[in-house]
Amino acid sequence: MDIAEISYQLEHTGYIVLAKPLADELLAGLYTRCHDGDPARFHAAQVGRGAAKKQIGSIRGDVIDWLDANNSTDQAYLACMEELRLGLNATLYLGLFDYECHYAIYGEGDGYAKHSDVLQGKKNRILTTVLYLNEDWQACDGGELVVFEPTGQSVITTVNPTFGTMIIFLSESFPHEVLVSHATRRSIAGWFRVSGS
Q: How far apart are CA 88 and CA 84, in angstroms?
A: 6
88 binds, among ligand OGA, Mn ion, none (CB under 5 to 8 A by kind): none
Which of 33, 85, 125, 176 forms a contact with ligand OGA (CB under 6 A)? 176
Are 183 and 137 a contacting pair, CB within 8 Å? Answer: yes
CA within 13 Å, CB half, 189 = 18
Nearer to ligand OGA, 27 or 145 (CB): 145
Q: How far apart are CA 60 and CA 105, in angstroms?
A: 11
Are 165 and 147 a contacting pair, CB within 8 Å? Answer: no
DSSP string over 78-132: HHHHHHHHHHHHHHH-----EEEEEEEEE-TT--EEEE-SSPTT---EEEEEEEE
What residues from 101 to 120 belong to the interface with Mn ion (CB under 5 A)? 117
Measure the N-to-C terminal CA separation of the chain; round to a whole number of Å. Answer: 28
Instruction: Give SS3 for 169.
Output: strand
Which of 61, 186, 189, 192 forms a contact with ligand OGA (CB under 6 A)? 189
Q: How far is the CB of 112 from ligand OGA (least distance, A)?
A: 5
Nearer to ligand OGA, 60 or 85 (CB): 60
Q: How far is the CB of 117 from Mn ion (least distance, A)?
A: 4
145 binds, among ligand OGA, Mn ion, none (CB under 5 to 8 A by kind): ligand OGA
Q: Give the contact letters, 79-118, x = binds to ligand OGA (CB under 6 A), - = no.
A: -------------------------x-------x----x-
- Cα–chain-centroid distance for residue 136? 20
Nearer to Mn ion, 76 or 118 (CB): 118
Taking CB under 5 A as the rule, does residue 149 contact Mn ion?
no
The contact set with ligand OGA (CB under 6 A) reads 104, 112, 117, 130, 145, 176, 178, 187, 189
